[in-house]
């Protein structure tokens, strides 16, 4: 049976250990001319939403042009600091062997549904050797939509895959809600700020503590 696996990135596959926020602040200052005093909530949000709310916290007005310039700057700082990201960040336990195991199965395609802009997503995955397993051409990114459900729909459309043949893996209630709203089965991973109970309460089909047990997670993904 064909299977499309939709991966979230941050706190599901990788942990930037603070580098991501530093790069975000650098791009924010480059585009606005202001030092970032505080950042809006990022868990489960897209870059457009995070920027809009962060601008509001600084008394600044949003515009589509500003977001486009910010997205370009954010991509550029990720490229410039890719080595630092690789040195300080990490792939979460089990991520690489699980992606490799799925890549070796006939009929399985893997991509991402992420609030990151595409360049940032590419850099984060490549920093830890995960990009080799992911088909980014059918993914959905922070430039594509503001809300998770629309990102999921975008990925399904690009992959030409019905919702019943897809499974989404993420660490926040927003990931879960986005998948469920599109009829996609969802596996919650308790490696972010939301614990297992919170992910179950959000409606996750299954929940795992992390991705370290490759065989267990494979069975859940492919059942």
Rounded Cα–Cα distance for residues 46 and 203 (Å): 21
Domain that holds residue 76: 19-86
Question: Do 78 and 108 belong to one domain?
Answer: no
Domain boundary among 29, 62, 86: 86
Domain boundary among 40, 64, 86: 86
SS3 state at 120 = helix
pLDDT at 42: 84
Question: Do 142 and 36 belong to one domain?
Answer: no
SS3 state at 15 = strand
User: Cα angle vertex 91, ends 90, 92, to 5°?
Assistant: 105
Q: How many domains does the chain have?
A: 2
pLDDT at 1: 65
pLDDT at 168: 99
Question: Do 103 and 63 belong to one domain?
Answer: no
Rounded Cα–Cα distance for residues 214 and 122 (Å): 24
Question: Do 70 and 162 belong to one domain?
Answer: no
Domain boundary among 86, 116, 137: 86
Q: DSSP E strands: which ranges in 51-205?
A: 90-91, 108-112, 166-170, 185-189
CATH number, domain at 196?
3.40.50.1000
Question: Do 27 and 57 belong to one domain?
Answer: yes
Question: Do 67 and 133 belong to one domain?
Answer: no
Mean pLDDT, consecutive 10-residue stretches, the chain (223 aa), reads 94 98 98 96 90 97 96 98 98 99 97 98 99 98 96 99 98 97 98 98 98 98 93
Question: Do 101 and 146 belong to one domain?
Answer: yes
Question: Do 111 and 188 belong to one domain?
Answer: yes
pLDDT at 41: 87
């Amino acid at each position: 049976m064909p299977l499309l696996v939709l991966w979230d990135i941050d706190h599901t596959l990788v942990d930037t250990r603070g580098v991501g926020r530093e790069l975000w602040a650098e791009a924010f200052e480059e585009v606005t001319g202001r030092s970032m005093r505080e950042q809006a909530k990022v868990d489960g949000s897209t870059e457009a939403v995070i920027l809009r709310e962060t601008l509001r916290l600084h008394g600044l007005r949003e515009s589509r042009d500003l977001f486009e310039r910010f997205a370009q700057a954010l991509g550029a700082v990720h490229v410039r600091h890719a080595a630092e990201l690789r040195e300080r960040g990490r792939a979460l336990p089990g991520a690489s062997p699980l992606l490799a195991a799925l890549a070796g199965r006939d009929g399985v395609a893997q991509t991402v549904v992420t609030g990151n802009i595409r360049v940032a997503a590419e850099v984060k995955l490549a920093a830890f050797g995960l990009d080799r397993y992911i088909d980014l051409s059918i993914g959905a990114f922070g430039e594509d939509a503001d809300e998770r459900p629309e990102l999921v729909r975008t990925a399904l459309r690009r992959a030409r895959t019905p919702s019943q043949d897809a499974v989404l893996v993420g660490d926040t209630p927003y990931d879960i809600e986005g998948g469920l709203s599109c009829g996609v089965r969802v596996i919650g991973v308790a490696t972010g700020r939301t614990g297992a109970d919170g992910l179950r309460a959000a409606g996750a089909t299954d929940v795992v503590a992390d991705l370290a047990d490759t065989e267990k997670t494979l069975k859940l993904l492919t059942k």
